């Protein structure tokens, strides 16, 4: 919605300490400059009981502590609990993830929300299978392009990208979509019939809502799944329950940020997986624009005027 924007930021330093929770979140990126006392050389060793061989006495050995948290100087990405658009910020240690050298700061900053949402929506919730047909609405937005990237290049699905202009459709095709629909100049429902030979789509990733959601829902195939991730169009639609029954289809939602409190393991895994996929070159975030800190109002205006394609980055440097 127009009142809520998420910008990715690249701060100079991140202080890894516990902070008070808040309801808002903003991705930040930088170098971990401060570590606490557990990171000393002495604390990296610990004693444990080890079974070296069955039916033999147990042994007490001194083991090396596994590397669980970033160390001083590591490149890290974080999901902040507010106040992240700054050169310095305070972050809970568990909300830090290492960034490999193969991934740039700007790419890493674009990963958590968009690719985290895409992975949970398409893989965890919709259980998308190779060869299935996936429709992605708002396909040139940050979440949309991430969904196209994941569906086409990771899950090996056939992607139909739907967006509001020919330029946006072209970018979605470049990201991996096999075909596209400009729903500003074409009827989405009719075009989907043509592209699927009236068979419908298996999965819908919808970030628009309104009439686009309704047309997408009615275009699902037997046992199809639609995942709601947002309402960029402003209108929150009602679901005609008879369609769920007649086609045995499923409608579900993904609010990525809530997983942080409800299932942190899955939340963390979505970020870690996105980083690894980017490192391996299987996905690549689309950075539509990069602004400096003093240009922050221009960055917000760029998004508010619906000019953004992919992710908008605010760099602290």
- The predicted pLDDT at position 190 comes to 97
Residue 6, classified by CB atoms within 10 Å of its CB into exposed (0-12), middle (13-18) or buried (19+), is: middle
Delineate the domains of the chain, giving CATH numbers in brackets: 8-38+70-110+286-315 (3.90.180.10), 116-257 (3.40.50.720)
pLDDT in tens, 124-146: 999 999 999 999 999 999 999 99
DSSP 23: S
Rounded-to-integer distance, Cα 15 and Cα 216, Å? 45
**Ranges in the chain, pLDDT < 50:** 1-7, 9-43
- The predicted pLDDT at position 135 comes to 98
- The predicted pLDDT at position 47 comes to 74
- The predicted pLDDT at position 66 comes to 57
What is the value of pTM for the model shown? 0.79
Q: Which two tokens stand for residue 290?
A: 């990069």
CB 73 within 8 A of CB 31: yes
Rounded-to-integer distance, Cα 197 and Cα 201, Å? 10
Q: Which residues fall within 8 angstroms of residue 264, CB to CB, at 6 or more apart?
A: 94
pLDDT in tens, 209-241: 999 999 999 999 999 999 999 998 888 999 989
222: how many CB neighbours lie within 10 A of its CB?
11
- Residue 88: alpha-carbon gap to chain centroid: 24
Q: Please name which of 1, 4, 56, 49 lies closest in space to residue 25, comparing C-alpha atoms.
A: 4
- The predicted pLDDT at position 44 comes to 64
| DSSP three-state, residue 272 | helix
């Amino acid at each position: 919605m127009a009142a809520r924007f998420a910008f990715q930021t690249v701060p100079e330093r991140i202080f890894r300490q516990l902070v008070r929770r808040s309801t808002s979140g903003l991705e930040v990126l930088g170098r971990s400059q401060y570590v606490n006392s557990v990171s000393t050389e002495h604390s990296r060793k610990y004693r444990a009981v080890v079974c070296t061989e069955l039916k033999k006495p147990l042994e007490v050995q001194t083991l090396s502590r596994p590397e669980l948290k970033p160390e001083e100087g590591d490149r890290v990405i974080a999901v902040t609990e507010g106040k992240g658009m700054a050169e310095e910020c305070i972050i809970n240690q568990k909300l830090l993830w290492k960034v490999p050298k193969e991934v740039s700061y700007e790419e890493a900053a674009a990963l958590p929300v968009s690719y985290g949402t895409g992975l949970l929506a398409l893989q965890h919730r919709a259980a998308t299978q190779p060869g299935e047909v996936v429709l992605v609405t708002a396909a040139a937005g940050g979440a949309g392009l991430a969904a196209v990237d994941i569906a086409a290049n990771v899950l090996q699905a056939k992607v139909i990208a739907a967006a509001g202009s020919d330029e946006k459709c072209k970018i979605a095709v470049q990201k991996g979509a096999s075909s596209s629909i400009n729903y500003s100049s074409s009827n989405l429902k009719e075009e989907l019939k043509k592209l699927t030979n009236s068979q419908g789509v298996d999965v819908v990733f919808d970030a628009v809502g309104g009439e686009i959601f309704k047309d997408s829902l009615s275009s699902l195939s037997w046992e199809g799944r639609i995942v709601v991730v947002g309402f960029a169009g402003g209108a929150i639609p009602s679901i005609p329950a008879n369609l769920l029954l007649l086609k045995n289809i499923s409608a579900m939602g993904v609010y990525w940020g809530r997983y942080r409190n409800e299932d942190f393991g899955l939340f963390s895994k979505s970020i870690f997986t996105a980083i690894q996929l980017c490192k391996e070159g299987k996905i690549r975030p689309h950075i539509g624009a990069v602004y400096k800190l003093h240009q922050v109002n221009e960055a917000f205006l760029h998004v508010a005027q619906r000019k953004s394609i992919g992710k908008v980055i605010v760099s602290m440097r």
